[in-house]
Chains A and B, each alone.
Chain A
Amino acid sequence: MSWGPGLRLTLTARLTLLFTAVLLAVLCGLGVMVTLANQAHFVDLDRDYLTDKAALVRKVVAGSPDLDQMSQRLQELLQSHTGLYVRLALGPQTLYGEEANTFPVDIMSTTGRLEPIDWPWDGSLLRGAAVALPAPTFLGGDAAPSLRLLLAMDMHHHTHFMEELQNSLMVYLLAASLASGLLAWWAARRGLAPLRDMRERARRVTANQLDERMPVGSVPVEMAELAQELNTMLERLQRDFQRLSEFSSDLAHELRTPISNLLTQTQVTLAQPREAAVYRDTLASNAEEFQRLGRMVSDMLLLAKTQHGLALPHREPVALHQATQALLDFFDVVAEEKGVTLVLEGEATIQGDRLMLQRAISNLLSNAIRHAPEHSRVHVSVGHTDGMASLCVDNAGPPIAPEHLPRLFDRFYRVDKSRTHLSTEGTGLGLAITRAIMEAHGGTVSVASTAQRTRFCLQFPAA
């Protein structure tokens, strides 16, 4: 993994961080909720407590015959409640309990219901509320101004509890995020294991070891598609590579024989003094062979270029019948020598490279004339079938065995293996070139052979 310009994290690290961050956020939210719920719960509890105490005080106050008795009873009632502050007041006058400054001035509830508020006092936090009490009979009963009862409780055990809670929440949060981070890391690594497997396999792929494939069945669906694509790519590469290496070995093989011939011939000629005419003859023969070799190399290059999908040099409308007629004019002499009649019929125009197309057609024509018996007829028909332009070259001749038919378009494929190639003969690439040119045009070439006739057809895609 590279740490290039800017921060590039591994996928595992990213997933781990993301997962941990999400979990942390969730846990924090949960912590806040727990805290708030607790506080709300404490408020409820405190209100109940204060309400309860207020009711008790009210009862004592109402049932007391005089102020002293009331004070005494209240004292008895409340002394066991530590942390509870009570003040009973009539106007500014304290009837019982704490001084006025213990409580804030605006504590009086206006709703008649106890509504506790919090305030700090003497180093601690108090929560309290105030309520109006009807004056007891010894102070004039209902007609007299009402008393004010102020209650407050020390909240130190609440705050203590809340602190404890927050501390333990914090500890839990830290522990949980650590644990979840580890878990996330483990899960991410486990989830990405197929990726590492693929990397390992990719590492093993070399020019000599192209049969390695990515796992498809054992990986998650998302990766299976990638693996599938990679496998298709590998297959394509393997096929191309195979073809390329076959190509090279074919070429080497095809070149070996003529080069060996040339070498032998030259060395034999040089071995002893000879007449000038013999030298001339040898050189001329060599030149012919060299020309054939040169042509073969050019053909191989053309084939290589066409097969590598190089774009056609030109693309223009080509009238097939006209292009063919020019070729027939060319081959006419040879055909006439054999008494073979060349017939052209029909017409069609396609998009393509004229020179390349003529080359493709010329290979078919030259084959047809070569294999046609004397005084027969080579028939070229141009036209449209199923909306596709086609050109067929049909000649009489001995049937081609079915096992040869699909391989006719392979380079250097010869039906008669034993036949030695003369320099006048083709390079063995003609039909392969025809096929390559057709493929470059998006078309196809096919062959059919019956007992009497052989028929090659070029088919062009609909324009």
Chain B
Amino acid sequence: MNILIVEDEPKTGEYLRQGLREAGFTVDLATRGNDGLHLALEGQHDLVILDVMLPELDGWQVLKGLRSMGRQMPVLFLTARDQVEDRVRGLELGADDYLVKPFSFAELLARVRVILRRGRPSQEVTALLLADLELDLLRRRVLRAGKRIDLTAKEFGLLELLMRRQGEVLPRSLIASQVWDLNFDSDTNVIDVAVRRLRAKVDEGFEPRLIHTVRGMGYVMEIPETGA
């Protein structure tokens, strides 16, 4: 997967590149609007991450340029200004998503993956599997090592999200938004409590542990690498 980052702040750009590379993407970085547009028109990018405030051409103009040349790849805007008009303008121009600075990298990564997953034919899964944990989506049943686990509806939703996006670190804000449909950044520890309770039911007494806390970022569900 190729990602183009157009960001004029050198540190931000460099860290984004590093982070996305380490997450398994091929990343190009441009620091000027017209360089970015040029790169995007030349290359084959699956996603463009565009800062709004750029020297020479700004983010809007780059997006316009892309669309006028018939390039329809998804675009994610980064903006320092959380203005409704900005969002509306971006969405009107055909941006796929936007993030307001300061954003957490985990959040960005999660959004990037959502965007890239879009448009791909999603096979109708009826069951999710990780190690000996099994989620039956049709009957809404959870089995760990063949043993039935009772979950509340929200716990099931939370587990389903973690399972569907296994291997990805999910930030708390994303979990709140996906499971509880709460789209604002809350400073409560609700997610932590919810995950702790889920973990008690799903992981307690089983090996290996599947739900992991990534401090400072969020939660991830995966089979831990042995010896790590």
Binding site for B on A (CB under 8 A): 280-281, 283-288, 290-295, 297-298, 301, 313, 326-327, 329-334, 337, 355, 358-359, 362, 366, 424-427, 430
Contact = CB atoms under 8 A, between A and B. Distances in A.
Contacts of B197: 333, 337
B194 interface: yes
B157 to A, nearest CB: 10
Given A333-B194, A366-B188, A427-B187, A287 B82 contact: no
B18 interface: no
B215 interface: yes
Contact of B215 (A284, A332, A334): A284
A294 B102 contact: yes
Interface stretch (B8-16, B55-63, B113-121, B176-184): B176-184
Interface string B190-203: 10011001000000
B44 interface: no
A334 B193 contact: yes
A329 B179 CA distance: 10
B217 interface: yes
Nearest to A362: B186
13 contacts: A280-B215, A281-B215, A284-B216, A290-B102, A294-B102, A298-B102, A329-B154, A330-B180, A331-B188, A333-B193, A362-B182, A362-B184, A366-B186
Closest 9 CB pairs of A and B: A287-B216, A284-B215, A284-B216, A294-B102, A330-B180, A333-B194, A333-B193, A366-B188, A426-B187
A439 B100 CA distance: 25
A286 B188 CA distance: 18
Contacts of B181: 326
Nearest to A291: B104
Contacts of A424: 189
Contacts of A284: 215-216
B225 interface: no
B84 interface: yes
B215 A331 contact: no
A288 B104 CA distance: 10
Contacts of A425: 187
B124 interface: no
Nearest to B155: A333
B216 A291 contact: yes
Counting chain A CB atoms within 10 Å of each CB, which of B104, B180, B186, B215 scores highest?
A: B186
B182 A327 contact: yes
Nearest to B105: A287
Counting chain A CB atoms within 10 Å of each CB, which of B82, B183, B190, B217 scores highest?
A: B190
A329 B181 CA distance: 10
A297 B176 contact: no
B190 A330 contact: yes
B104 to A, nearest CB: 6
A286 B216 CA distance: 8
B107 to A, nearest CB: 10
Give the interface SS of chain B, mostly helix, strand, loop or mixed: loop
B185 interface: yes
Given A284-B216, A297-B102, A426-B187, A330 B182 contact: yes
B190 A331 contact: yes
A355 B183 contact: yes
Given A313-B84, A359-B184, 4 more contacts: A291-B104, A298-B102, A326-B180, A427-B187
B216 A292 contact: no
Counting chain A CB atoms within 10 Å of each CB, which of B84, B104, B187, B217 scores highest?
A: B187
A326 B104 contact: no
Contacts of A366: 186-188
A362 B180 CA distance: 13
Contacts of A290: 102
Nearest to A338: B193
B216 A285 contact: yes
Given A301-B82, A334-B189, A334-B193, A358 B215 contact: no
B182 A295 contact: no
Counting chain A CB atoms within 10 Å of each CB, which of B104, B215, B216 scores highest?
A: B216
A175 to B, nearest CB: 68
A430 B187 CA distance: 9
Nearest to B217: A287
A298 B180 contact: no
A304 to B, nearest CB: 11
A438 B140 CA distance: 40
Contacts of A280: 215
Contacts of A283: 216
Nearest to A296: B187
A425 B189 CA distance: 9
A287 B215 contact: yes
B52 to A, nearest CB: 16
A298 B82 CA distance: 9
B131 to A, nearest CB: 25
A288 B216 contact: yes
Contacts of A426: 187
B183 to A, nearest CB: 6
A313 B182 CA distance: 17
A333 B216 contact: no
B216 A298 contact: no
Interface string B93-106: 00000001011100
Contacts of A313: 84
Nearest to A298: B185
A191 to B, nearest CB: 49
B99 to A, nearest CB: 12
A149 B120 CA distance: 132
A285 B217 CA distance: 10
A265 to B, nearest CB: 13
Contacts of B104: 287, 291, 294
A326 B182 contact: yes
A75 to B, nearest CB: 112
Contacts of B194: 333
Contacts of B215: 280-281, 284-285, 287-288
B88 to A, nearest CB: 10
A298 B187 contact: no
Counting chain A CB atoms within 10 Å of each CB, which of B180, B197, B217 scores highest?
A: B180
A286 to B, nearest CB: 7
A170 B20 CA distance: 97
Contacts of B103: 294
